[in-house]
Structure 1
Amino acid sequence: MSKEKIIAKIKANKKQPHLRFRLKRKVEAFTDRLFLTLFDIDTPVTENIDQLALQFDELIDLVCWNIDRPCSKVWENYLEQLPEILEKLNLDAQAIDDCDPATQSIEEVYMAYPGFYAIAIYRLAHELHKKGFPLVPRLMTEYAHRQTGVDINPGAHIGKSFFIDHATGVVIGETAVIKDHVRIYQGVTLGALYVAKHLKNTKRHPTIEENVTIYANATILGGETVIGANSIIGGNAWITESVPANSTVFHTPEIKIKTQANVP
């Protein structure tokens, strides 16, 4: 096959007219600047707000394919939400500092805890998701996923003072609801019982009530599954039904120890 025919076949199969991967890089740059603007003491807020507005305009040019959608209003409305988002994130950082004996300072939480970073990007993305602007927030949380191993869909609803410890392998689905003062550990999945496209507009992921602790590698599935307030879910538990408030659920492994015969 000639080079011309190969090129023609490639062009014929590039069927997505809006698929521009430079959007990912621009979203990542926007996310980095947004994070530093909120937290880094040496990053000037006034100048960076102006720069963020310009960067967001570039994102709008790349993702607002429907000219009837009022994308130009998104940034103005989003900017008004940033102080409230920052207040929530400071509560998340304080919850981590209060709960984890390994922390040496609150600054360590902001700079060194992947769980906090994942929560921060989720909260920043969630507000954009609520405004009907889905692709940019999805790319923001995927950027955090790539860096931390934490996959939080921007559509999830998460309350105040949220704590993810160690972080790696955590998955929180789109319709999950997590209320205030919840603590989860690495490898936890809040997922769906079934995966089918027709379930798009249904609640597929569990609800976690206030003050619940979920230990490492627990899996909780289903849109009707509710973990009651003040409950403790042990490591490696597999849950597909609701748990009453003030419960303790744990997985008991079967351990068999084989010893050599005639060993003193």
Structure 2
Amino acid sequence: MKALLICPAERPGVHVLAETWPISLVPLAGKNMLEYWLEHLASLKVEDVIVLAAPEAGQIKDFIYNGTRWGLNVEVIEEARELTPTAARAKYQTGPRDEWLAEPNDATVMDHFPGLTHHPLFKDYAGTFSALQSWLPRAATMNRIGVREIQPGVWASVRASISPSAQLKGPCWIGENVRIGPRAMIGPMAIIEDRSLIMAESEVNNSIVGPETMVGRLTEVRNSIAWGNVLINWKMNSSVTIPDPFLLCALNRRAVKGAASGWMGQIASLYSKNKEDLQVLLKHLLLKGKDKTVL
């Protein structure tokens, strides 16, 4: 069987998320839309997939390679613009019709999770947050290696480090190589993406903390998306860049707006403010393989 996947092009309503990755590669509960959809198509016994990508086709090709890790044969084709499913069918569905999945599964714009057509992603931040919360119970699928439900409604990677004094309230998701500090409060309705650091006595609820993002000690993230050093209020659809790395910063420079907001800025800030937090940050960076850079 064959199928078409269409990568979403520009989505102005969630432009901050797309500044680091193409929309189809944005991490959502540890995986991106391409991963979710290729896994879904593989479960439907599809063998051949054509992925239609706009200008970011090079990054898509690098990520997919040839599709063998999903047991698929995947071809990435660059398009000048995002095609509709109807236009994609007309252009690419050649050969006998019974070789393709039945409509509408034969051609899909990846702007929603598999099976959640009525929960669109990427129109705005509020819709994206709502769709992700609806997806959360399905996120810990059988092919999600290393994720466990450590208490009702709380899913965490086996490689996450969670302080015994942290409070977790479901539903929430804690990704791979995440560190949760002492007395931190996570949830309800919280998603902590991979390699993020939540410092002691912080609070995250009704919010998403993006990958490789640090939330500082005593910082409260509520009704927001903390993405690097950018804080987005998903209810108001507004965003602000946080200049103080002691409160919020990116642990990877590719997600940083402004040179002073990366982990080097955070180290300088913590050096003069809190020795304990500095030790926690250094340990987190060492575990991420950044020891040579830090030292």
| Bigger CA radius of gyration | 1
Q: TM-score, normalised by structure 1?
A: 0.30
